[in-house]
Structure 1
């Protein structure tokens, strides 16, 4: 028997696959490779190429590989782009999740760990976000993730689905030099690409009401995130009563200015970031509490900022 990881050829999904294997748990990957990479899937892991929108394919994968639970990471993850492509976003993230749940119901698979997002909160008006903080998503992406949580909740009421959803902000670092963040929108890839191209990295605004004037965000190491997914899966399989949602937060956050300083130190490339105007809608601080996840999922920040940057830089250079 095995666990199915949808989106398992992506940056985060590939780390989740590795975390399962480290615990001796068999996994199967389903990915359409729209943003994932076949090379990110470890040797020896069963791979099914296809979309979660293909219900027949998903059902066949669940049956063929004797799947006992699903970690659902597949989806369209670009919040900014989702504003211009709302129908595509809802199709991938809402219709796709509903199709996956229907296939699970048809095959008797009753456990799922859902990769949600802190985008469900929008711009919170609290210093520390908790699971009960008001949800005000500001993009189709954030809305689609919240709807995904509702789908799990309603399927649990109707069919007894065992589930939990993990919300998180900015995922960085690498747990394997063969896997790195390939997103064209995330901070670390943007900074590294600029340095490798001989350009100066940019900070959007340095006049926020924060200690150094730059935005403060939650940054968590991808390997820590992956480990929490595995613990959640194990606890669901053991019949433990989990909360419907957990924030995987740092509790204190890191500023963009601190990240730039860490990048300069780790890479050995001295630079003074270019200061650009603020981006509309960027809040000064978004940081989440991880107390509930620490209680139930052995969640903790196992990596320092320097380790996050070093591992990400090593993986990026290995791919260059």
Structure 2
């Protein structure tokens, strides 16, 4: 990444990975609450004067769908008002750089088959509704200013360093903790189909969009073909060389549609030249190696 990029939400999984990969980055201070309009205005002015950043990657969000049902106001304040305050402060400074807002593939709800950017959104949680609203804030920002602002709808992604509250690192950490002969791990609903990208491919896509994405556009980012969680877990177990058995745990079980989804990334590939480089098997191997190291280090 050649541009100087201001990054919000840099303490999250993707943000931490970017800090290892990109140079010329400016980190939004965690102490400056994006829901506080006056603080955001003064901090944007300060950072622009000091660093003259020409791009913004807006990762900061309340991104837990379940939590959003009990924290509706907090979710909307962070995701919508935070985005509005940030874009408003940039507008007041006359900033004309490139802005990328990270939304979610969950905006499509339970739609199945091939999903492209024209597929109707179907928000099923306050979290997703807030992301849809924030997307419109970004489109308005692009329309009324000289900045080039874009939305990327990211589907599932993982990699080393992601917390094991998520499916892939949870499975990898449990398998890594088994003895060499194998054993039993706890699972949820394995009939669900998911699309997983390696975090390295996701970060490359963000960089490509900040370089050559088109202002005002929305882009899908995900694996083209989904796989059932059962198939994915079988591949991971085989890669580990252990005899792994599953025990369904009620707290891990979620009622979700098992139908497969295909994420169309034609627009992203056409506008930026981005291509997926890391296979699912590469992702699973990286996760197993990471969690094997974590277990050994204990």
Measured against the shorter chain, the TM-score band is: 0.7 to 0.9
**Given that residues 94 and 147 in structure 1 are in contact (C-alpha distance below 8 angstroms), is that contact kept between their aligned partners in structure 2?**
yes
User: Matched residue pairs, number?
Assistant: 281
CA apart distance, 1:131? 0.5
Matches within 5 A, 1:139-178: 139-174=125-160
CA apart distance, 1:196? 5.0
Look up the match of 2:181: none
Tell me the SS of whatever aligns to 2:275: coil
Deviation track 1:94-121 (CA, whole Å, cap 9, x = no partner) reads 1111111122112233320111101111
How large is the Cα RMSD of the aligned pairs? Answer: 2.2
Match of 2:53 among 63, 67, 79: 67
Look up the match of 2:264: 289
Look up the match of 1:246: 219
CA apart distance, 1:62? 3.1
Report the TM-score when normalising by structure 1. 0.80
**Given that residues 30 and 51 in structure 1 are in contact (C-alpha distance below 8 angstroms), is that contact kept between their aligned partners in structure 2?**
no
Look up the match of 1:8: 10
- Distance between the aligned counterparts of 2:73 and 2:91, measured in 1? 26
Look up the match of 1:46: none
User: Does 2:89 correspond to 1:114?
Assistant: no
Look up the match of 2:207: 230
**Given that residues 218 and 254 in structure 1 are in contact (C-alpha distance below 8 angstroms), is that contact kept between their aligned partners in structure 2?**
yes
Report the TM-score when normalising by structure 2. 0.85
Q: Which runs of 5+ in 1 are unaligned?
A: 33-48, 175-179, 206-213
Deviation track 1:251-306 (CA, whole Å, cap 9, x = no partner) reads 21122012211221233332122246762344533331111111112232211222
**Given that residues 120 and 135 in structure 1 are in contact (C-alpha distance below 8 angstroms), is that contact kept between their aligned partners in structure 2?**
yes
Q: Which runs of 5+ in 2 are unaligned?
A: 179-183
Look up the match of 1:188: 168
Q: 1:269 to 1:106 in 2, by over 3 A?
A: farther
More displaced 10-residue stretch of structure 1: 285-294 or 274-283: 274-283
Matches within 5 A, 1:1-320: 2-21=4-23, 26-32=24-30, 49-53=31-35, 54-55=39-40, 56-110=42-96, 111-124=98-111, 126-174=112-160, 180-182=161-163, 184=165, 186-195=166-175, 200-204=185-189, 214-235=191-212, 241-242=214-215, 244-275=217-248, 279-320=254-295
Tell me the SS of whatever aligns to 1:123: coil
